[in-house]
Amino acid sequence: MSPQPRQLVLPFAARAPAPGRPGGVALERRGGVELVEMTCRSILNWVQGSRASDFYSINPYRGCEHACAYCYARYTHEFLDQPGSADFERRVYVKVNVPEVLVHDLRHAKVYEHGISFGSATDPYQPAEHRFRLTRRLLEGLLPFRGFSLSIVTKSALVERDVELLAELASRHELAVLFSCMTTDPVLQRALEPRASAPERRLQAMARLSAAGVHTELLVAPLMPGLNDGEEALGRLCRRAREAGAVSVFGQALFLFEASRRRFFSWLEQHRPELTEPYRRAFARSRELDREVRDELSDRLTRAAAAAGLGAGRRTVR
């Protein structure tokens, strides 16, 4: 019989969340990106049977301005009647009521039994966080508790802003900050992830958090044959992460849902046309690479990690 969840005693009053609605009020327009208000009914979303073990995900923003060409989460905009995958990075929904919704959700979730992951779909420290600070407010909402298993996945150095808060959370909860970084090559990074932080900035942020006592890990996602899977490149990345205080590394091979496939192949045609045909063949029958290819990518990363003194990291989806 599974143990009963411990009673969660809220240190402050919980209000029932406002009814969810997709919104439509533009909060800000800049540089071709529109930030649109959205309210939601729930912010702790149960993720079951995925690549990672069961957990609750928290994504305060829908869409992501970082605009990574391979991003698997593009399909999430299709549920909002936004079929163009470019809308994913040009119209970002800001879930303005999530701090109060979290208080309500925590009453009903089994948060002592399952982890909470920030950013399993979209980046919680993407540029909108500068102004709206929703991720920060959600993290502050977890401060009064103890003993949760928390993880944050990001490609942004903005996480450094919250170093004191994260160090405080780490003293109360089991916290890991996973820096998603697929290369140290600034040219490749810029081409594939045009508005995410540069690799060096991410590694600096990682070093700052590690020095403050926050557990940090490297997430090499995605691993893409012919682009970032060279032994030398992976070795360099693992060594830099180790120097920045990372404890472990985990890799994720590229997989392509339909919305991501269109965008990724258009990127290949523009930037690496010689790889277009091999990738078409590799993804002809499945959204995943063949098992042997995935195993080879995993083995390469494992060798690079071992040489750098990094352990094996946790499984995650992004």
Which part of the chain contacts ligand SF4 (CB under 6 A), choosing from 31-39, 67-75, 159-167, 205-213? 67-75
**Is residue 170 near ligand SF4 by the rule CB under 6 A?**
no
Tell me which stretch binds ligand SF4 (CB under 6 A): 5-13, 59-67, 202-210, 223-231. Answer: 59-67
CB of 168 to ligand SF4, least distance (A): 25
Q: Minimum CB separation from ligand SF4 for residue 121, in Å?
A: 7
To the nearest whole angstrom, how small is the minimum distance from the Cβ of residue 195 to ligand SF4? 8
Residue closer to ligand SF4, measured from CB, 173 or 261: 261
x-or-dash pattern for ligand SF4, window 174-193, by CB under 6 A?
-------------------x
- The closest alpha carbon to 181, from 192, 167, 165, belongs to 192
Of the candidates 202, 207, 193, 318, which has an alpha carbon nearest to the alpha carbon of residue 263? Answer: 193
- The answer to whether 46 and 230 are in contact (CB under 8 A) is no
What is the spatial distance between Cα 182 and Cα 205, in angstroms, rounded to a whole number? Answer: 16
Report how far apart the first and last C-alpha atoms of the chain are (Å, whole number).
32
Region from 50-58, 62-70, 90-98, 238-246 binding ligand SF4, contact rule CB under 6 A: 62-70
Decide: 300 and 234 in contact? Cβ < 8 Å: yes
Q: By rule CB under 6 A, what count of residues binds ligand SF4?
A: 12
Q: Is residue 122 part of the contact set for ligand SF4 (CB under 6 A)?
A: yes
Contact set for ligand SF4, span 205-264 (CB under 6 A): none
- 24 DSSP assignment: -
Q: Which of residues 270-309 bind ligand SF4 (CB under 6 A)?
A: none
Which amino acid belongs to residue 293?
V
Least spacing, CB of residue 171 vs ligand SF4, in Å: 28
- The answer to whether residue 202 forms part of the interface with ligand SF4 (CB under 6 A) is no
Q: Among 35, 47, 67, 310, indicate the residue that binds ligand SF4 (CB under 6 A).
A: 67
Both structure tokens of 250: 């985990």
Q: Please, which of residues 72-91 interact with ligand SF4 by CB under 6 A?
A: 73
CA dist 46 to 16, 210, 252, 272, Å?
19, 29, 21, 38
Q: Could you tell me which of 135, 121, 197 has the C-alpha nearest to residue 205? A: 197
Q: What is the CA radius of gyration of the chain?
A: 19
Stretch of 64-72, 127-135, 224-232, 242-250 contacting ligand SF4, by CB under 6 A: 64-72
CA distance 38 to 99: 13
Q: CA-to-CA distance for 190 and 234, rounded, in angstroms?
A: 17
State the nearest-atom distance from the C-beta of 62 to ligand SF4, in Å. 10
β-strand partners of 249: 218, 312
Of positions 71, 203, 209, 241, contacts ligand SF4 by CB under 6 A: 71
The site for ligand SF4 (CB under 6 A) is made up of: 64, 66-68, 71, 73, 122-123, 155, 193, 196, 318
